[in-house]
């Protein structure tokens, strides 16, 4: 049985994580964390998630999680909160699954350091389909090479705070790595006015924010006389939450290290077959 703590347990993603962890025969929710002033502190995490009483109260401090027997924490919060939770996880030798977006290079270096002490899955997108997209985009970019322009378009709901999305950034990085370019030096995030002709090295990064769009990512390879588009559309947040739960189950018995969803899904081992 895997003992799981959910950070941000009263949020949209957190409630889905509580539900999906609870639905797993081999996992249980043993802790539920929120920020210190959250109005629902003390309420049962299962009742907050709409799945009935779990006898797991929503707590507002990491200290209150001590003694809960956690093996893994799942965190889809915000960078500052994630880093504080990471310190706790390292000190308690609790594995961690991080789906938080907007983490910068300095913050990522702290994840790398923590992964020397605990097993850690960090991925810009926990969706199984998106991680297949990552693999396919690398293969297509390698096949098409320099003869095709690359444009990446992402769309999300109006409440998303970071842009471009972590998934779009990773797609840009994959294209750059495959084609020997430099992300973000070769990324173009906006075009306005008299921009001149598009350069061969450009990786276009375009962002849309509107309504309640869960998440859409399109990678366009544009050649002379033809265009190839690879699209992933998320219809609900459950695919992200389900991937994170899958990662938590996979991670519990791993050695310390920094892993991603490609590791969880075995896509790295299958590369080149």
Confidence band of 225 (pLDDT split at 50, 70, 90)? very high
Active-site pick, 38, 156, 217, 232: 156
Same domain? 10 vs 103: yes
* Least reliable range by pLDDT among 5-9, 88-92, 142-146, 159-163: 159-163
Average pLDDT over residues 3-17: 96
Same domain? 218 vs 84: no
Same domain? 148 vs 214: yes
Q: Say how many CA atoms lie within 13 Å of 218 toward its Cβ.
A: 13
**Per-residue confidence (pLDDT) for residue 270, from 0 to 100:** 52
Same domain? 162 vs 255: no
Same domain? 136 vs 167: yes
In the annotation, is 160 catalytic? yes
Q: How far is residue 73's CA from residue 122's CA, in Å, rounded to a whole number?
A: 12
Averaged pLDDT of the chain: 95
CA–CA–CA angle 40, 44, 50 (5° rounding): 90
Would you say residue 272 has pLDDT above 50?
Answer: no
Same domain? 6 vs 118: yes
Would you say residue 273 has pLDDT above 80?
Answer: no
The verdict on pTM exceeding 0.75 is yes
Active-site pick, 160, 161, 232, 235: 160
In the annotation, is 156 catalytic? yes
Same domain? 48 vs 156: no
Same domain? 255 vs 194: no
Would you say residue 21 has pLDDT above 60?
Answer: yes
CB-based contact 94:5 (threshold 8 Å): yes
**Per-residue confidence (pLDDT) for residue 271, from 0 to 100:** 45
Same domain? 164 vs 206: yes
Q: How far is residue 97's CA from residue 119's CA, in Å, rounded to a whole number?
A: 9
Query: Nearest CA to 22 among 43, 49, 42?
Result: 49
CATH number at residue 88: 3.40.50.720
Q: How far is residue 90's CA from residue 45's CA, in Å, rounded to a whole number?
A: 24
Same domain? 47 vs 114: yes
Would you say residue 64 has pLDDT above 70?
Answer: yes
193-218 residue pLDDT tens: 999 999 999 999 999 999 999 999 99
CATH number at residue 141: 3.30.360.10
Same domain? 50 vs 93: yes
| Strand 187-188, strand 203-209: pairing | parallel
**Per-residue confidence (pLDDT) for residue 57, from 0 to 100:** 98
Domains in the chain, number: 2
Which residues span the domain enclosing 243?
Answer: 2-122+237-270
Interhelix angle 128-144/166-179, rounded to 10 degrees, is 30
Would you say residue 90 has pLDDT above 50?
Answer: yes
Same domain? 113 vs 248: yes
CA 262 to the chain's CA centroid? 12
96-143 residue pLDDT tens: 999 998 899 899 999 999 999 999 999 878 999 999 999 999 999 999
């Amino acid at each position: 049985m895997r003992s799981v703590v959910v950070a941000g347990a009263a949020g949209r993603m957190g409630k889905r994580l509580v539900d999906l962890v609870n639905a797993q025969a081999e996992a249980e929710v043993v802790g539920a964390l929120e920020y210190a002033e959250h109005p629902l502190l003390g309420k049962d995490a299962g009742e907050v998630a709409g799945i009935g009483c779990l006898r797991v109260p929503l707590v507002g401090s990491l200290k209150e999680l001590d003694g809960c027997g956690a093996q893994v924490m799942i965190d889809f919060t915000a960078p500052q909160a994630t880093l504080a939770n990471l310190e706790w996880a390292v000190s308690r030798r609790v594995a961690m699954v991080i789906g938080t977006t907007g983490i910068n290079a300095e913050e990522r270096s702290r994840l790398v350091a923590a992964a020397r002490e605990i097993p850690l899955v960090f991925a810009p997108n926990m969706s199984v389909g998106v991680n297949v997209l990552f693999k396919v985009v690398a293969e297509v970019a390698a096949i098409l090479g320099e003869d095709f322009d690359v444009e990446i378009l992402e769309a999300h709901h109006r409440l998303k705070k970071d842009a471009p999305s972590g998934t779009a950034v990773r797609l840009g990085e994959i294209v750059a790595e495959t084609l020997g370019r430099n992300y973000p030096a070769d990324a173009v995030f906006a075009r306005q006015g008299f921009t001149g002709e598009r350069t061969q090295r450009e990786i276009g990064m375009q962002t849309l924010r509107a309504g309640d769009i869960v998440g859409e990512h399109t990678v366009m390879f544009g050649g002379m006389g033809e265009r190839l588009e690879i699209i992933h559309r998320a219809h609900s947040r459950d695919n992200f939450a389900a991937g994170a739960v899958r990662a938590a189950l996979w991670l519990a018995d791993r050695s310390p290290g920094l892993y991603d969803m490609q590791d969880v899904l075995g896509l790295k081992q299958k590369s080149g077959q």
